[in-house]
Chains A and B, each alone.
Chain A
């Protein structure tokens, strides 16, 4: 029972308390670059979650036989292997998504969240906790992406998941789906998070 409690704890840690995007501010590059529509946001979130899960499982399994001196190169090879899997699978089955995410799929390799979780968590903790940690962090990252891309798609395009929701009279402000809008959205969201947690 204790194990399950701890697993739940590790999961929710990633979703809220240590949300990678809003609280630790890691992995900003993809969060801003591809969050122009919710579809892209979900795609990126799931891709990163898959890589995170795969790398956390592998790193946790080999943690006792890894010499500490070469651990970082090992982590990087494990991560880039999973990234290559994602790259090939998305290219084969969802070519549109692959095209929209562009170089940000291979760039998952250098997403700080994944290396940070491998180094700070999976290389020290047993398998089940590492899995919970990966799913939690992945969910937190995906939720953050959905939130950012939802706001940007709604204000910048007047749609949500491609469906017009703000009515015909809404004049979309294109700037929201361009770079300045991305920076502004994340600035206000992190500020809002700080404001909410400060009150408690």
Chain B
């Protein structure tokens, strides 16, 4: 139980996927101009990251390990994730038009989100078991959502600031990300071990 809590909090706060591991920067910069779309994207990513973590873990340990196919990890994982995203999209379209409207356009983009493939690879690399994997995936998604929401809230305020023409857009967004990464440094040393 204690180990699960450590995994969860360290992936949300200390090793935040965006601010400390640089995973999932494309949506972090692309979808953070307004608060609402950022929230939808965050929910979609958290959902897919949790699911993908579990499914890729099962694939790895039930298919790749017994047949000594570890070297096919990258190819298998990306195919599993792409199929999974497509599948989730179809299920959502069939069952919930409301959810479809909110998340629809974000789901296809998630296939090429490096946070999803990244979390699947990290789970294997760190040797987590299935429960730890799911907690890690969910926490990673939550940390991503948090960073995305903070970023979008700041960027909405930034609309009223006088930014030099050549720093507008990406440069100023990266400066903000830098400041946020500084702030998240405060969580370093949260766990003494």
Contact = CB atoms under 8 A, between A and B. Distances in A.
A182 to B, nearest CB: 7
A186 B174 contact: yes
B72 A84 contact: yes
Nearest to A34: B22
Interface in A169-184: 178-184
A178 B184 CA distance: 12
B117 A106 contact: yes
Nearest to A91: B71
Main secondary structure of the interface of A (DSSP, over half): helix
B112 A187 contact: no
A32 B75 CA distance: 24
A112 B113 CA distance: 9
Contacts of B179: 180
Contact of A80 (B19, B78, B166, B174): B78
A128 to B, nearest CB: 28
Interface residues of B, number: 41
B171 A103 contact: no
Contact of B75 (A77, A179, A195): A77
Contacts of A191: 166-167, 171
B74 A198 contact: no
Given A110-B78, A190-B171, A195 B166 contact: yes
Q: Say which size band chain A's interface belongs to.
A: 35 or more
A83 interface: yes
Given A81-B75, A110-B113, A29 B170 contact: no
A94 interface: no
Given A186-B174, A194-B166, A32 B74 contact: no
Nearest to A81: B75
B181 A180 contact: yes
Contacts of B174: 183-184, 186-187, 190
A91 to B, nearest CB: 9
Contacts of A165: none
Interface of A: 25-26, 28-30, 32-33, 73, 76-77, 80-81, 83-84, 87-88, 103, 106-107, 109-112, 115, 178-184, 186-188, 190-191, 194-195, 198
16 contacts: A28-B22, A28-B25, A33-B23, A76-B78, A84-B71, A107-B117, A107-B118, A110-B117, A178-B181, A180-B185, A183-B178, A187-B172, A191-B167, A194-B165, A194-B167, A195-B166
